[in-house]
Amino acid sequence: MAKAFYVNDEISPLISVILGRADQNGSTPSPESCYDPKSKAHVLAGIYPKEEDMVKEMEAFEKVLLKYDVEVYRPDLLPGVNQIFTRDIGFVIEDTFVKSNILPDREAEFQAIKSILADFDQDKIIQAPEEVHVEGGDVMPWYDYIFVGTYRFPDYPDYITARTNAAAVDFLQQTFPNKKVLAFDLKKSNINARENALHLDCVFQPVGHGKAIIHKEGFLVESQYKQLVDIFGLENMFHITADEMYYMFSNVFSISPDVVVSEQKNKRLNDWLREQGLIVEEVPYAEISKQEGLLRCSTLPLQRKK
């Protein structure tokens, strides 16, 4: 019998997940081929992460997931392809897997997870229409809501960092009519990583029991930021600075409402999480973060408990 997808939020106990891989991920890219300003800056500075360091970081993350009895899938190996950030290539909402329309150069990454998806209900795998640009880092199911990071301005084509468009917001609302889709226009920059919210999960993330991490300045429209304040309550939100956003403080990953995985150097955040009663599993992930992605970015949850 085929397995069933199910994800309805960011924190329910995790059953299965696709974790990316860093082995044989290719040589250091040229500055011109980088998809984001943070990667480009590290290439130009000569400190782009080394494969062996990233492999060790992902092994540490996998070890934590296995500690909590999570079924961990890994993509098929594509030598020379960066396969770390599985979050972008698809996402699950309720019992439906949506294949993202990502940057064309990354299409091979989806092909590498088809053998995993073959074990699941094929009737519940859909693809967004061609005009819909969407990446999983911008899509956050949260019970009755779907939070979506986007950029809906006329200069959208000018930003390689603008990954989810207005058509994606309409598509999600039509596909999941029982959900309320809330769209958040994010600050974009092709050249300054401290001024660029690549995805929604770079500036916002629910954790634990009704808490959230947020970077207010990453939202272009204050009234949209206030929608999240209304939902979570200001007293339940941990506000991060521009530097903390740069170091991906909000890109944690919840194994359950009580357990969250976080980068070990994010001390101010990790102390706050523990003050909220959470178990914080700290892992080294600073090298991977040089590519403007962290823990949530490198996971694609397939099943959480209902």
Phi, psi at 212, each rounded to 5° = -160, 150
The span from the CA of 125 to the CA of 90, in Å, is: 10
* Contact between residue 34 and residue 43 where contact means Cβ atoms under 8 Å apart: yes
Side-chain half-sphere exposure of 283, counting CA atoms within 13 A: 27
For residue 44, the model assigns a pLDDT of 79
**Which pTM value belongs to this model?**
0.94
The span from the CA of 117 to the CA of 230, in Å, is: 37
What share of the chain has pLDDT > 70, as a percent? 100
Stretch among 24-33, 56-65, 183-192, 261-270 having the lowest mean pLDDT: 24-33
Helix (H, G, I), strand (E, B) or coil at 231: helix
Pairing outcome for strands 259-263 and 279-283: parallel
CA dist 57 to 20, 113, 118, 289, Å? 11, 21, 28, 10
300 strand-pairing partners: 18
Q: What is the pLDDT of residues 213-245, one digit of tens each?
A: 999 999 999 999 999 999 999 999 999 999 999
In this prediction, residues 8-21 reach a mean pLDDT of 98
In this prediction, residues 266-278 reach a mean pLDDT of 98
For residue 105, the model assigns a pLDDT of 78
Residue 278 confidence class, pLDDT cut points 50, 70, 90? very high
For residue 23, the model assigns a pLDDT of 96
Q: What is the pLDDT of residues 193-203, one digit of tens each?
A: 888 888 999 99
Side-chain half-sphere exposure of 167, counting CA atoms within 13 A: 13
* Residue 137 per-residue DSSP state: G
Fold entry, domain 14-304 = L-arginine/glycine Amidinotransferase; Chain A (3.75.10)
Residue 240, amino acid: I
Q: Parse the chain into domains and list their residue ranges.
A: 14-304
Q: Residue 147: is its pLDDT beyond 90?
A: yes
Q: What is the pLDDT of residues 70-90, one digit of tens each?
A: 999 999 999 999 999 999 999
Q: Which residue has the tokens 């029991």?
A: 209
What contacts 24+ positions apart, CB below 8 Å, involve 207-210?
Answer: 207/10, 207/11, 207/252, 207/254, 207/260, 207/273, 207/276, 207/278, 208/11, 208/254, 208/257, 208/258, 208/260, 208/273, 208/276, 208/277, 208/278, 209/257, 209/276, 209/277, 210/236
